[in-house]
């Protein structure tokens, strides 16, 4: 299995000619150094990818770089004896499309320390429907359960429920035995949310309260939006419940008080998936391939695209028009 002299990649530039991105022909020597060369089979589109690809967010720390924070495929060559030609591997985060070339390329060169052997129980396709979004949702649940979250505390709320992290969180949490309440501003997608595991679907108004403490409604939750909704969720969480914060789709601000924490013992847990330590990555992926594997991956994968369609996917996502997960496929 060799690498062709040139192949297609979606590359991002920021120089005197301005911020721009698009398809280019690259060679393997154009890519960031690494011990493993992978023929990419699948990638995915995350909110972070859309920000990076359009320049509407400060994601890349070096230029030019190939975009895409996720990839899965087959090893073509490896200088690390732990990996052999033909091995199936995946990588999420770990500097992809931030400090080194990412997964929007027919071939990728990666550091072996971040390559995860595909866990038994997942296909390459399934691993990228999950991708960073599924990893983030599962990492949130792991953090909550390490802090004594249990189904007995009551339902888990998921904000930004129709997005990739939100959709996969609903499926993962329900698979793990929790009752899940989806919070969304897209009432037209209530049926979709119920079909992937939401016991109840609420509009954003349930998290529009502004008092420091409210009547208890949730055992905890995963927040993807930040701002006043996160503050309201904390105020409605049961004593010693946990709320994991994983996104800022609405706001990076948190207009909250310490009252939920010092009166009810509520914990606010941060979820930073990009720089997660390797041992924790392995643990999360083992769970995603077994007892936390979502039951509705094909339903959550609502769109597929090739590299040629990425720019349109980015625009749709940033305009609020995405639902579930978008899978990037390669020939």
What would the DSSP string read from start to end of 103-141?
SSBSEEEE-GGGPEEPPTT--HHHHHHHHHHHHHHHHHH
What is residue 111's predicted lDDT score, i.e. its pLDDT?
97
Instruction: Give every strand in the sheet of 237-245, ordered side by side.
Output: 200-203, 180-184, 156-158, 218-223, 237-245, 267-270
State the average pLDDT over residues 240-255: 95
Q: Which residue in 239, 271, 229, 28 sits closest to 138, CA to CA?
A: 271
What integer is the mean pLDDT of 251-277? Answer: 95
Cis preceding-peptide flag for 64 (omega within 30 of 0):
yes
**Residue 1, pLDDT above cutoff 80:** no
Q: What does the pLDDT average to over 53-66? A: 94
Sequence ranges of the chain with CATH classification 3.90.180.10: 7-118+298-329
8 A C-beta contact, residue 290 and residue 122: no
Q: Is the pLDDT of residue 58 over 90?
A: no
Helices (H), the chain: 47-54, 124-146, 164-175, 190-195, 227-235, 259-263, 278-288, 297-300, 310-318
Q: What is the mean pLDDT of the chain?
A: 97
CATH of domain 132-270: 3.40.50.720
Structure tokens at 214: 């409210």
Sign of the dihedral defined by the CA atoms of residues 144, 145, 146, 152, in that order: positive
Closest CA to 103 of 48, 56, 55, 165: 48
**Residue-level pLDDT at 2:** 87
Q: What CATH number has the domain spanning 7-118+298-329?
A: 3.90.180.10
Cα–Cα distance, 229 to 250 (Å, whole number)? 9
Whether 307 shows a pLDDT value over 80: the answer reads yes
Mean pLDDT of 244-259: 94
* Euclidean distance between CA atoms 246 and 254, whole angstroms: 13
For residues 13-20, give the mean pLDDT: 94
For the chain, percent of residues with pLDDT exceeding 70 = 100
pTM above 0.95, yes or no: yes
Name which of 327, 329, 331 is nearest 132 in CA terms.
327
The predicted-structure confidence for 80-98, as pLDDT tens digits, reads as follows 999 999 999 999 999 999 9
Gap between the Cα atoms of 8 and 227, Å rounded: 40
Task: Output the pLDDT for position 42.
Answer: 98
Give the residue among 305, 317, 309, 325 at the shortest CA–CA distance from 23: 309
Q: Does the structure show a pLDDT above 80 at 140? A: yes
Residue of higher predicted confidence among 58 and 96: 96
Segment 154-180, tens digit of pLDDT: 999 999 999 999 999 999 999 999 999
Cβ(285)–Cβ(293) under 8 Å?
no
- CATH 3.40.50.720 positions along the chain are 132-270
pLDDT of amino acid 65? 98
């Amino acid at each position: 299995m060799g690498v062709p002299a040139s192949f297609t990649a979606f590359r991002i530039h920021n120089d005197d000619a301005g911020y721009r991105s698009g398809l280019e022909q690259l060679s393997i020597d154009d890519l960031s150094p690494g011990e493993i060369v992978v023929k990419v089979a699948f990638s995915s589109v995350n909110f972070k990818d859309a920000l990076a690809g359009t320049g509407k967010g400060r994601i890349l720390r070096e230029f030019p770089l190939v975009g895409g924070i996720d990839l899965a495929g087959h090893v073509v060559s490896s200088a690390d004896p732990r990996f052999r030609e033909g091995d199936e591997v995946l990588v999420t985060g770990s500097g992809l499309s931030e400090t080194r070339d990412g997964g929007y390329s027919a071939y990728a060169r990666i550091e072996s320390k971040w390559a995860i052997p595909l866990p038994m129980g997942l296909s390459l396709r399934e691993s990228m429907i999950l991708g960073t979004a599924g990893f983030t949702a599962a990492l949130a649940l792991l953090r909550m359960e390490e802090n004594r979250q249990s189904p007995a505390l009551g339902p888990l709320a998921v904000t930004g429920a129709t997005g990739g992290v939100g959709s996969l969180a609903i499926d993962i949490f329900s698979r793990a035995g929790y009752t899940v309440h989806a919070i969304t501003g897209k009432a037209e997608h209530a049926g979709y949310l119920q079909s992937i595991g939401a016991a109840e679907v609420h509009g954003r108004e349930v998290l529009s309260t502004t008092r420091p403490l409210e009547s208890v409604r949730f055992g905890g939750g995963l927040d993807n939006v930040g701002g006043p909704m996160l503050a309201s969720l904390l105020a409605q969480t049961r004593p010693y419940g946990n709320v994991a914060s994983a996104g800022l789709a609405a706001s990076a601000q948190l207009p909250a008080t310490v009252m939920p924490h010092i009166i009810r013992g509520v914990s606010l847990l941060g979820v930073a998936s990009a720089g997660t330590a390797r041992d924790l990555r392995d643990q999360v992926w083992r769970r995603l391939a077994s007892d936390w594997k979502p039951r509705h991956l094909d339903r959550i994968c609502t769109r597929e695209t090739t590299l040629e369609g990425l720019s349109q996917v980015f625009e749709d996502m940033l305009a609020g028009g995405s639902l579930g997960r978008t899978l990037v496929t390669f020939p």
